[in-house]
Structure 1
Amino acid sequence: MRFERHQQKKDKKKKRWRNFFLLIFLLVGSGFAYTYYQFKQGETQSLEKVEIKKETYAFNGEVDEYGAMNILLLGSDSRGEDKSRTDTIMVAQYHPDKKSYKIISFMRDMYVTIPGHGENRINTAFAKGGPELLRQTIKENFGIDLQYYSIVDFEGFVQLIDEAFPEGVEVNVEKRMSANIGVTIEPGLQKLDGKHLLGYVRFRQDAVGDFGRVERQQEVMKQIGNQLKSFQTIPKLPKLLGVVSPFITTNMDAGDMLYIGKDYLSKNNRDIETMRIPVDGAWENARMNGASVLLIDTEKNKAAINEFLGR
């Protein structure tokens, strides 16, 4: 009798553990199913709106020796052309150990050494050899190893903003903007939809030119990051990735992007640190082969990058 009671207790305990693991399995499975469903819903939503043509690129990314994840982040405006232009060149860094997020913006008119192609403006590297040649160029001139690349078509930026922020992103527009951006933006504190926000970060037809544009791009990225955190966006993250994924050409998988995005959104007081290259005092205006360029002090800029990245 005592043995039977002991066996019954043992069987009940096994049953409880079996039910517990079954519940965990169902919860995890439901979570994956929900994530996949939301991702596909967002992807379908974008594909129904825009016809998308993607290029494929070779990319021999190298792991950063300091333990960071470095991503070559490019903004592209194909406009149906065979070769798309790259108006935005950034390196985005996420360091898993330090839990830090940093962005370096590279001015596209910097005159640099392009491996195998002599000297030219840095954005020429993409036109001549895609993200791989641009990776080599950044490594040779600034000493940064790039593991991943991500090219975002500007239409994807518009779709992402409109999905994540139905009421728009709040920015303080410092002046009237209209030249070469496809929209007119009046000055003042206001909320901009995706199309107008894209025009805001692309505007460069004033006295400060590309310097002002880079400053606005960094300002908007910080603002988007802050507003995403305030909206408790983690449940929306799979759909947001789905919305923008048709417009992204990258060697990162969705898991990597979810990992980085979830960690950012789940932490309090997570700031994005930014810098611009060239730094002040390490460049001068010049003309090369009839084109306006920025001549840079490579060593000063490389030292500034190392300090910024905490090397």
Structure 2
Amino acid sequence: MKRNHVLGAKQFDREMLEGIFQTTREMERVVANGGSDRYSNKVMTTLFFEPSTRTRLSFESAMSRLGGKVIGTENAAQFSSTIKGETLEDTIRVVSGYSDVIVIRHTDIGAAERAAAVATVPILNAGDGAGEHPTQALLDLYTIEKEIGRIDGIHIAMIGDLANGRTVHSLSYLLTNYRNIHISFTAPENVQIPTYVKKYLDDHGISYEEEYDLTKVAEKADVLYQTRIQKERFMSLDEYEKASGKYIIDRELLTHMKQDSIILHPLPRAGEIAVEVDEDPRAAYFRQAQNGLYIRMALIEKCFEE
């Protein structure tokens, strides 16, 4: 972790994950006790070249609750020197001089790595196109452990837009650090899980299947990880409509789920989880979003470790 960057899920091993989760539990206590001023002399810059609500606000809240300051833009593509033709690398070189840590979300796969190559401060990848979203995957994994009590031995179903779902890619990579994992990939035909993700799972001995019947999967999975069909990632409306509305978690599906299973979603949702599901105790996605604050506080803490 050169300069304590967080760039992708593959950089973490199990020992590192356990350390991050321990720090995350400590951060839950920090928030419960009213926050901290330990980083009152630190500045975080948030550079979001792609829209975000939860990720950006949770990072900003995390820094604020640790006593730090936040500067940046939620629309860097339109309201920055980028529109004048400045390269990402030049932007990062300049902003590094203003900051102690930079959070970046970008439309291009690999943008975080490009930023880290020239940055003089830690870079935290808040999503790079259809590539990865490592901080989301970390909070997803933390939520699974917190809700179920374990990660080893779980059966997780990943549902929806698996081709463009960077959260699914990152979570799949993180799960290779655990034992006896089984993954069911349930997706429309035109947004199946990429071959390179399956190869990584094969290389690490992870059991998985591609199963089109969501009811069948729901009957045996410990975790249903639902994702949005991402309209903005499709080249045509026709391709989007082929995938949209195929897999929906509703009251009927709840009757097929195990009583001790949970439903996760990285949010925002767009109809793929019915509102009626929210009242079910297995619906953990809002608790999952709350955990994003604690995880990102922990990552900021790790950024400043010597």
Q: Fold match, TM over 0.5?
A: no
Greater share of residues in strand: 1
- TM-score class, shorter: under 0.3
Larger radius of gyration: 1
- Per the normalisation by structure 2, the TM-score is 0.22
